[in-house]
A and B are shown apart, each in its own frame.
Chain A
Amino acid sequence: MTEITVENKTSIKSNKKRNKAIMHGILFALPWIIGFLIFQLYPIIASAYYSFTEYSLLQPPKFIGLGNYAALFKDDKFLISLKNTLYITAVGVPIQLIYALIMAMLLNMKVKGKSIYRTLYYIPSIVPLVASSVLWIWILNPQYGLLNSFLGKLGLYQPAWLTNPSLTKPSLIMMDVWRSGGTMLIYLAALQGVPRSLYEAAEIDGAGKMKKFFNITLPAISPVILFQLIMGLINSFQYFTQAFMFSSGANLQISGGPENSLLFYSLYLYQNAFSFLKMGYASAMAWILFIIVLVVTLIVFKTSLKWVYYDAE
């Protein structure tokens, strides 16, 4: 009899404790919960609704069904913006990731003055994006820019980087590589975390440099590569500031660079929303972007099961 009451008491007590913990848990998480509901969940739903409407902000939204989506696939500028974005993603992201990895590996070779090199390579990435765009527009100036003056000295062809439609995107990639010091730092930390014992064991087995790189280094840092790849892809789909800076010509708000070669997805979306006030159309674009990002991320995660190794912690 007495035993039961004691048991009851403890269970009541632990129940009370649990409820208190739930209350505290919610209370402390409240800032994020409120922010999530107002600035993320509601907007996601609202933008899905707007995407089926014609909405100029000045008049209430008018339901038009799939009209925006149908119009998008007939819109040449939309298709160009999609193509440009795929280009900068498929070409730019791998180049940056590979460059950052090579530099991190060089820095990891126990060279003297490592911290000086590390700082030098890292600093470009803290230059504000707008500032770095202005600087690169000047560096790439066809007549008086730094790059072409070098090319001229070497007797090479001096292209019009910012006006030739096939060179505008490579120009942006050049600048992005210059700015990818953050990724390099992350790789460097990952490389330093690879246990020496793994290399020593491989050396005893007579493994060469290449073998060590592919069989030890790459698998060991593969989770970090995956993370950088996904963040790189997502950022690249949102490519905006650089494109805005490089493409701004006479008409700032609706420019897409020479032959629209710098009209990236986010730039066109922004123009639709805030220059043309086509909120419904922009929302439809936003949802297509959302789906593309989701699908690409899922594919990367799926394939990552084959190439990412998590050590059994």
Chain B
Amino acid sequence: MQSELSSQKELNRLKRKKVIKKTVIPHVVLIFFAIIFSLPFIWLVSTSFKTPENVFKMPPQWIPRPFKPENYINAVKAIPFFTYVKNTLIISIIPIFGQMIASALVAYSFSKIDWKGKKILFPIVMATMMLPSQVTMVPVYIIWSKLGLVNTFTPLILPSLFGSAFNIFLLRQFFAGIPDSYIEASRIDGASEFRIFAQILLPLSKPVLTSIALFTFMGGWNDFMTPLMYLNESSKWPLSIGLQAFTFQFQQQWELLMAATVLFTVPMIIIFFLGQKQFMEGIVMTGFK
């Protein structure tokens, strides 16, 4: 009896130990990192609502008092904010259509059409993913400059009409998963390749096309180097260049800078939450083989 009880106790102790090891420790570590990784955001938002004096107060205030939402209005007024937004939208929305259509066409050729050339071309597509953009940067710039298109949006938009290796790869993987029997039946019925592509493949690919639309939009929104190279006039700048210029114009006005940074970042976070599922799936798909 006595020994049974003690063995029961022993068992409970072991169980508890196991619970601690299995759930408490991971949670503690996860929460610790979650706090550390969230602090920069809290600091960002908190600074953006501070008065200039409180920005430099030590120790830092986490909840700004007084609370100054006017910082946002002042930040928008300090720079041609809406011009930057318009330019950013131009270079991030227009390429979506080019990317989706061109990459899907090419991916169709590489997955659903039975021809030998694809065995040579597809590895080249994959290899170009590893080509540093610096290698092609100078001659591509010279092409645009000879065409007189530097300082226009064309160099940022037109290349999307040719698709991108990453999107072609993503779509090819997706198309490869669609059974050929879907297509063969239509082929026998005499449907043209383009019809099969547009009426069968594309409607089935909505999730992956959504991922591509999201990635392309975010790519355009975040791009810094290409607009830096091609857009010299401030009337053509997107937000990324505008924010960079703003940083060095208003070096000590952190509250305005942080407000502008929040405005630049929030759309990305909203898009992420709206398209979370597509987003995560897209990331994971591109990460494999």
Which A residues contact B (CB, under 8 angstroms)?
18, 21-22, 24-36, 38-40, 42-44, 46-47, 50, 57, 103, 106-107, 109, 111-112, 117, 119-124, 126-131, 134-139, 141, 143-144, 146, 149, 152-153, 178, 182-183, 185-186, 189-190, 223-224, 227-228, 230, 234, 237-238, 240-241, 244-245, 248, 252, 265-266, 269-270, 273-274, 279, 282-283, 285-287, 289-290, 293, 297
Contact = CB atoms under 8 A, between A and B. Distances in A.
Contacts of A282: 137-138
Nearest to B39: A146
Contact of A57 (B39, B145, B159, B258): B145
Interface stretch (B9-17, B71-79, B122-130, B204-212): B122-130
Nearest to A245: B244
B261 A234 contact: no
- The A interface, classified by DSSP as helix, strand, loop or mixed, is helix
A293 B33 CA distance: 34
For the complex of A and B, 7 pairs with smallest distance between CB atoms: A35-B162, A186-B287, A25-B115, A28-B109, A43-B139, A43-B136, A46-B139
8 contacts: A31-B105, A35-B162, A40-B136, A126-B218, A127-B269, A139-B43, A230-B130, A234-B132
B68 to A, nearest CB: 17
A289 B135 contact: yes
Contacts of B239: 128
Contacts of A34: 162
A26 B117 CA distance: 8
B59 A224 contact: no
Given A144-B60, A146-B40, A153-B59, A286 B134 contact: yes
A27 B117 CA distance: 12
A279 B274 CA distance: 44
A21 B115 contact: yes
A136 B117 CA distance: 48
The number of chain B residues touching the other chain, given as a range, is 35 or more
Interface of B: 22-23, 26-27, 29-30, 33-34, 37-41, 43-44, 47, 55-56, 58-60, 102, 105-106, 108-110, 113-118, 121, 124-125, 128, 130-143, 145, 159, 161-163, 168, 193, 197, 218, 221-222, 224-225, 228-229, 239-240, 243-244, 247-248, 254, 257-258, 261, 264-265, 268-269, 272, 276, 280, 283-284, 287-289
Given A32-B163, A129-B222, A144-B56, A135 B44 contact: yes
B137 A286 contact: yes
Contacts of B162: 31-32, 34-36, 38-39
